[in-house]
């Protein structure tokens, strides 16, 4: 299958390893990955901060770039959620029904990574090897906007060599919330503190999730604490094989 | 963003609020025949009622009675089983169990008298004092009240009173500290939809699920606040026919 | 979107819909109160578990939610008709209906009705509407004492405190604090009173008993009003509601206009949704339903006050109006990670938590600039837990975003753009072009110079210093993804 990668602005600029892992994983599974180089950002930060007018232009750009793709994958529950649940509404609110219809068409072909693997490609065992103790944080938008359910866990359970540790109060937000983390920093930090307490309580070496943004938040807190637990994106774990060695980590 | 219309002189609050509603609905694309695209345009939204409605187990069937019994007990009500005709003995036993003594002057307040609504079968509680419009303070002198009910809902452990003569006015089941309520098997329905379908909405209705309770301290439920602290339900059903 | 709201927002200076400072400042202080954090964490944890169990018992929960949402939507679309019908039915059964444009008018109506009875005190059932309009203060100004009779409201009133939760206004107090308060403020309290919740409830019973028995006037809110029969519904637990609704001669019910439901049958949905969502019970201990006046049973005089106070302003927005569907169960508060950590007082309004962050600014209107309620829509990480538990499926995160947009758009109308607006505009300009975006990525990699060998940044200039106050920031990598792609795959697509 020819799959267009929407890598997200955050991964492109700050966590390129996540995009590389997504590419390598899909290629290993026998698929062709293309990277439409015109892509930039889904506009979620603008939308969620109240800048709908600016966001519509980013929606238009995103639709222009991905309209031709049969299948779009993104290693982010949050950005997939924005494409699927915000883009058309933004266009419609701006009075651009034509754009809304085009956005709906792109949204219908856009999948978060675990959705693509399980629902479209029908694979649970991706042949990964990752000899570490890992705990999984189901990010809010994966869980409650996309409803990915246990797809990431089903993929992780098939990873060879890995010990999966259950995260207490896993479904509680880590406190990131985009500009919330800055506008309401003390509240965000209090939420992060509880999330880190639970992560560290599992004794895991690695905390994983399907969103680089939440991992940036949790990881930023963990390194500030000089904790031994590191954050690694789900794509990186799934891309790991006995041959690839271990060169993962969002920090 | 707010564009208030000025308060109109000489227009009643009623007319102004109604006018605001009509203007708001028109602005939102609803009402006043306003045609707007999208699912919100239709004010007469079809209500999907594919939740569990009426039906289910037949009223009074043994599984329903068993469910009601369990749900009442779960919320700290007491349940006494009785066969038809055995109501007087069951009521005596329930009052005794609630420490409402038959001896005048023996109970905590008001001589331990038992209050009954005017339409309660006289044989059920011969010692009962029939309510004739006692004041609130006088009601506070009674130790217990015995009533029938209008219907009961097994799923939620709820009994419904509707002010019929065998249940009396609302205050009599509120002020005395013990409420003994007689429920006939054929009054027991399954769910909330069945319960409401049995009630006349123009009557004063009280739905009672266990004794009074509160969750106001640390969200922990504790039973017994202003309403009766003891609720005993007498469940009247014919014993299973011998095989 | 429609940024023009019709109707008139709730007036300032009366009632409790606004705080006196923005949410972030109030939240910062609340976070410093470790006892508050423990109390809230414990109580919300208890109720989350109970709610989940009560909801889990029903296999038709989603169908009930869908029905509840649809009933509310249909009601709002014909709200005028339903209110007129309600008025006719209540009047036909001996009640008197009053209409109030705002808090001041409602307070004046209630005060006048109480004065007409000659009473100088009354008993109250817990009611959000009367809290919203500041009724107790208005009555006090007229020399009328309002006795709150709900246990949590009593705790608030005795402590000169402010409610912090829709359902359990004293949720910020634990049993030991309540015991201490009762010992200090409750006349004639048993000195051996312990902090056991049952004993505390008994103390409240003894304290309020005489007040109930002598009261001639009561004030209540309403959970629902049924248009086609004129039935009013109050859902409660303690029996204080029944005391107020049945013992006094005069009953005055103050109800927001959005509480009407079209038909009796609609209650079969809401009487399932509400108790399981709010207290986590299959059914609350007492539900009282009455229509007008019943000779020989209950009050001889019944007044219903229908309150607007900003509701029609909220109704004017095609999406924002969904907030009016709220049935005040408070499930969204109990699951909100923000509410759990900062408590209700930080929101300023008596409607706190996720629904409060939507409803309060909708009722008051958001004004550009220094309106404290303008900070409320940002008091959320948009995690969506509130939407999942809402019994009438209010999409609270989307409504929050919509209010943020309205706030930003209001600021655009002002002569000078905010620093944030400039940043957002610049970011959008950069991100709408891959060339500009790639150039910006290259520029940002200069940030690598500031990083330590560890690959992370511990301090950034404002506004990002708010991030690095507690979290390291990632150091930009040596190579962006698109550079890696170009190097390893060449240009594609």
Last residue of a domain, one of A74, A94, A120: A120
pLDDT digits (tens, 9 = 90+) for B165-196: 999 999 999 999 999 999 999 999 999 999 99
The answer to whether residues A8 and A77 belong to one domain is yes
Confidence at residue B106, expressed as pLDDT on a 0 to 100 scale:
40
Q: Indicate if C450 and C359 belong to the same structural domain.
A: no
User: Is B12's pLDDT higher than 60?
Assistant: yes
As given in the structure block, the two tokens for residue B26 are 């028109």
Segment A35-59 shows an average pLDDT of 96
Contact B147, B168 (CB under 8 A): yes
Residues C322 and C462 in one domain: no
Residues A202-220: what's their mean pLDDT?
97
The DSSP element (H or E) to which C299 belongs, if any, is none
pLDDT at C420 over 60: yes
Same domain for A159 and A91: no
Q: Determine, for residues C279 and B1 on separate chains, whether the beta-carbon distance falls below 8 Å.
A: no
Confidence of residue B239 (pLDDT cuts 50, 70, 90): confident
Considering the domain architecture, whether residues C406 and C445 belong to the same structural domain is answered as: no
ipTM of the prediction? 0.95
Nearest residue to C353 (alpha-carbon basis) of C334, C378, C373: C334
Both C340 and C453 in one domain: the answer is no
Number of domains chain A contains: 2
pLDDT tier at C6 (50, 70, 90 boundaries)? low
> What pLDDT is recorded for position A210?
97
- Cβ distance of B170 and C288 shorter than 8 Å: yes
Q: Taking CB atoms and an 8 Å limit, are A48 and C382 in contact across chains?
A: yes
Cβ contact B133:B50 at 8 Å: no
pLDDT for the residue numbered B223: 87
Both tokens of C432, joined, read 């709408």
- Torsion sign (Cα): C53, C58, C60, C64: negative
Looking at chain A, the whole-number percentage of residues with pLDDT higher than 70 is: 97
Question: Do C384 and C246 belong together in one domain?
Answer: yes
Give the residue from C416, C440, C472 where a domain finishes. C416
A71 located within any domain: yes
pLDDT for B112 beyond 90: no
Mean pLDDT of chain C: 92
The CATH number given to whatever domain includes residue A25 is 3.40.50
Least confident of C79-83, C137-141, C367-371: C367-371
Q: What is the pTM of this model?
A: 0.94
Q: What is the per-residue pLDDT across C162-196, written as a single tens digit (0 to 9) for each?
A: 999 999 999 999 999 999 999 999 988 999 999 99
Q: What is the pLDDT of residue C4?
A: 44
For chain B, count helices (H), then strands (E): 5, 12
DSSP string covering A140-167? HIIIIII--TTHHHHHHHTSBT-EEEPP
Same domain, yes or no: A84 and A114: yes
Predicted confidence band of residue B36 (pLDDT cuts 50, 70, 90): very low
What is the CATH number for C194? 3.40.50.10420
**Residues linked to residue A20 through DSSP beta bridges, in sequence order:** none
**Average pLDDT of the residues in C211-232:** 97
Backbone angles phi, psi at C293, to 5 degrees: -120, 135
Yes or no: say if C227 and C261 are a contact pair by the CB < 8 Å rule: yes
Q: How confident is the model at residue A249 (pLDDT cuts 50, 70, 90)?
A: low
Query: Distance (Å, rounded) from C-alpha B207 to C-alpha C287?
Result: 5
Q: Give helix C79-92 / helix B13-27 axis angle, nearest 10°.
A: 150
B94 touches chain C (CB under 8 A): no
pLDDT digit string, tens, across residues A85-136? 999 999 999 999 999 999 999 999 999 999 999 999 999 999 999 999 999 9
Domain range for C256: 1-416
Residues A137 and A112 in one domain: no
Residue A184 has pLDDT above 90, yes or no: yes
Who wins on pLDDT, B233 or C374? B233
Domain end, chosen from C416, C444, C476, is at C416
Question: Is residue A35, in this structure, part of any structural domain at all?
Answer: yes
With bands split at pLDDT 50, 70 and 90, how would you rate the model's confidence at A27? very high
Backbone φ and ψ for C256, nearest 5 degrees, come out as -65, 145
Specify the long-range contacts of residues C406-409, CB closer than 8 Å, at least 24 apart: C406/A50, C406/B1, C406/C1, C406/C3, C406/C366, C407/A50, C407/C366, C407/C368, C407/C374, C407/C377, C408/A49, C408/A50, C408/A51, C408/A52, C409/A50, C409/A52, C409/A53, C409/B1, C409/C3
Q: Which of residues C395, C416, C437 is at a domain's end?
A: C416
User: Minimal CA–CA distance to C57: which of A75, B155, B86?
Assistant: B155
Select the residue of B75, B170, B196 nearest C268 (Cβ to Cβ). B196
Task: List chain C residues with CB under 8 Å of B225.
Answer: 151, 201, 204-205, 237-240
Which tens digit of pLDDT belongs to each residue from C243-272?
Answer: 999 999 999 999 999 999 999 999 999 999
Cα pseudo-dihedral B225, B230, B236, B241, rounded to 10: 110
Phi and psi at residue C270, in whole multiples of 5°?
-70, -30
3-state class (DSSP) for residue A100: helix
- Interchain pair C470, A189: CB under 8 A: yes
In a domain? residue A82: yes
| Residue A218: CB atoms within 10 Å | 25
**CA closest to C75 among chain B residues:** B43
Cα C381 to chain centroid, rounded? 17
Q: Is the pLDDT of residue B31 over 80?
A: no
CA distance C389 to C55: 10
Find residues 424-483 of chain C whose CB sits inside 8 Å of chain B. Answer: none
In this structure, are C384 and C468 located in the same domain? no
Q: Give the pLDDT confidence of C125-139 residue by residue, as tens digits.
A: 999 999 999 999 999
- pLDDT band of C429, cuts 50, 70, 90: confident
Q: What is the mean pLDDT of residues A57-66?
A: 97
Enumerate the β-bridge partners of residue A231: A207, A250
The answer to whether C193 contacts chain B (CB < 8 Å) is no
- For residues C89, C93, C94, C96, the Cα torsion angle rounded to the nearest 10 degrees is -20
pLDDT of C368 above 80:
no
CA dihedral C4, C403, C161, C35 (to 10 degrees): 180
Domains along the sequence of chain B with CATH: 62-236 (3.40.50.10420)
Whether chain A has a CB inside 8 Å of the CB on C437: the answer is: yes
* Positive/negative CA dihedral, C78, C84, C89, C94: positive
Question: Is there a single domain that holds both residue A88 and residue A171?
Answer: no
CA distance readout (Å), C234 to A196, C121, C125, C254? 43, 22, 9, 12
Q: Which residues form the domain of A92?
A: 2-120
């Amino acid at each position: 299958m020819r799959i267009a990668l929407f890598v997200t602005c955050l991964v492109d600029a700050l966590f390129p390893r996540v995009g590389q892992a997504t590419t390598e994983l899909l290629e290993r599974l026998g698929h062709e990955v293309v990277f439409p180089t015109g892509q930039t950002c889904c506009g979620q930060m603008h939308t969620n901060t109240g800048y709908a007018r600016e966001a519509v232009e980013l929606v238009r750009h995103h639709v222009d770039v991905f309209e031709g793709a049969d299948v779009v994958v993104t290693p982010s529950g949050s950005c997939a959620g924005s494409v699927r649940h915000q883009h058309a509404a933004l266009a419609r609110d701006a009075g651009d029904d034509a754009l809304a219809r085009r956005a709906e068409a792109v949204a219908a072909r856009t999948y978060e990574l675990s959705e693509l693997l399980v629902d479209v490609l029908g694979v649970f065992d991706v042949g990964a090897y990752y000899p570490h103790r890992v705990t999984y944080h189901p990010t809010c938008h994966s869980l409650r906007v996309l409803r990915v359910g246990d797809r990431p866990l089903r993929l992780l359970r098939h990873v060879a060599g890995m010990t999966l540790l259950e995260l207490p109060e896993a479904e509680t937000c880590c406190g990131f919330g985009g500009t919330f983390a800055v506008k309401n920093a003390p509240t965000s930090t209090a939420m992060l503190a509880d999330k880190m307490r639970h992560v560290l309580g599992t004794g895991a070496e690695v905390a994983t999730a399907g969103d680089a943004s939440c991992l940036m938040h949790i990881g930023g807190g963990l390194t500030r604490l000089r904790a031994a637990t590191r954050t690694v994106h789900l794509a990186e774990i799934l891309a790991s094989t006995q041959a690839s060695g271990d060169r993962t980590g969002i920090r | 963003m707010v564009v208030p219309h000025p308060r109109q002189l000489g227009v009643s609050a009623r007319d102004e609020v109604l006018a605001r509603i009509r203007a708001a609905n028109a602005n939102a694309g609803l009402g006043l025949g306003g045609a707007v695209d999208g699912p919100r345009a239709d004010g007469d939204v079809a209500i999907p009622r594919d939740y569990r409605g009426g039906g289910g187990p037949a009223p009074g069937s043994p599984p329903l009675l068993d469910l009601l019994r369990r749900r009442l007990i779960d919320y700290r009500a007491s349940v006494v089983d009785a066969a038809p005709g055995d109501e007087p003995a069951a009521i005596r036993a329930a009052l005794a169990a609630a420490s409402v003594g038959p001896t005048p002057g023996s109970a905590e307040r008001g001589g331990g008298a038992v209050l009954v609504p005017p339409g309660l079968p006289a044989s059920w509680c011969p010692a009962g004092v029939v309510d004739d419009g006692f004041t609130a303070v006088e009601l506070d002198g009674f130790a217990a009240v015995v009533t029938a009910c209008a219907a009961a809902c097994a799923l939620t452990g709820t009994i419904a009173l509707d002010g019929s003569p065998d249940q009396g006015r609302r205050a009599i089941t509120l002020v005395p500290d013990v409420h003994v309520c007689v429920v006939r098997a054929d009054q027991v329905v399954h769910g909330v939809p069945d319960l409401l379908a049995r009630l006349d909405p123009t009557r004063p209705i009280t739905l009672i699920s266990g004794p009074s309770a509160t969750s106001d301290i640390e969200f922990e439920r504790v039973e017994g606040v202003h309403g009766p602290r003891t609720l005993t339900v007498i469940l009247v059903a014919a014993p299973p026919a011998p095989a | 979107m429609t940024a023009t709201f019709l109707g008139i927002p709730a007036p300032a200076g009366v009632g409790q819909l606004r705080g006196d400072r923005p949410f972030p400042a109030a939240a910062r202080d609340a976070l410093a109160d470790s006892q508050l954090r423990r109390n809230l964490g414990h109580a919300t944890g208890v109720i989350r578990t109970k709610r989940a169990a009560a909801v889990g018992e029903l296999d038709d929960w989603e169908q009930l939610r869908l029905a509840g949402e649809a009933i509310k939507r249909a009601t709002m679309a014909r709200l005028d008709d339903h209110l007129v019908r309600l008025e006719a039915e209540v009047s036909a059964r001996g009640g008197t209906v009053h209409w109030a444009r705002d808090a001041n008018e409602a307070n004046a109506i209630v005060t006048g009705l109480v004065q007409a009875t000659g009473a100088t005190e009354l008993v109250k059932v817990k009611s959000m509407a009367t809290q919203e309009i500041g009724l107790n203060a208005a009555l006090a100004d007229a020399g009328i004492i309002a006795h709150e009779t709900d246990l949590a409201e009593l705790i608030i009133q005795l402590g000169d405190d402010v409610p912090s939760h829709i359902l359990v206004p004293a949720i910020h107090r634990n049993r030991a604090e309540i015991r201490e308060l009762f010992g200090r403020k409750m006349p004639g309290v048993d000195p051996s009173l312990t902090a056991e919740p049952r004993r505390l409830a008994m103390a409240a019973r003894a304290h309020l008993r005489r007040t109930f028995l002598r009261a001639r006037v009561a004030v209540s809110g309403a959970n629902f009003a049924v248009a086609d029969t004129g039935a009013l519904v109050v859902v409660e637990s303690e029996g204080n509601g029944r005391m107020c609704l049945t013992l006094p001669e005069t009953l005055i019910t103050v109800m927001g206009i959005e509480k009407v439901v079209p038909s009796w049958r609609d209650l079969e949905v809401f009487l399932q949704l509400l108790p399981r969502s709010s207290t986590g019970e299959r059914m609350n201990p007492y539900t009282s339903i009455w229509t007008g006046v019943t000779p020989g049973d209950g009050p001889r005089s019944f007044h219903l006050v229908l309150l607007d106070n900003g509701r029609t302003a909220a109704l004017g927005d095609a999406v924002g109006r969904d907030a009016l569907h709220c049935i005040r169960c408070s499930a969204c508060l109990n699951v909100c990670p923000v509410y759990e950590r900062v408590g209700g007082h930080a929101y300023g309004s008596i409607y706190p938590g996720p629904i409060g962050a939507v409803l309060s600014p909708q009722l008051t209107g958001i004004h550009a600039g220094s309106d404290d309620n303008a900070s409320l829509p940002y008091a959320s990480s948009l995690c969506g837990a509130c939407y999942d538990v809402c019994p009438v499926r209010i999409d609270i995160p989307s409504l929050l975003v919509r209010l943020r947009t309205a706030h930003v758009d209001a600021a655009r109308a002002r002569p000078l753009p905010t620093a944030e607006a400039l940043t957002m505009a610049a970011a959008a300009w950069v991100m709408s072009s891959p060339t500009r975006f790639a150039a910006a990525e290259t520029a940002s990699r200069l940030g690598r110079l500031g990083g330590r060998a560890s690959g992370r940044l511990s301090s950034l200039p404002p506004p990002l210093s708010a991030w690095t106050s507690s979290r390291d920031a990632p150091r930009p990598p040596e190579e962006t993804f698109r550079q890696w792609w170009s190097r390893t795959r060449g240009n594609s697509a």
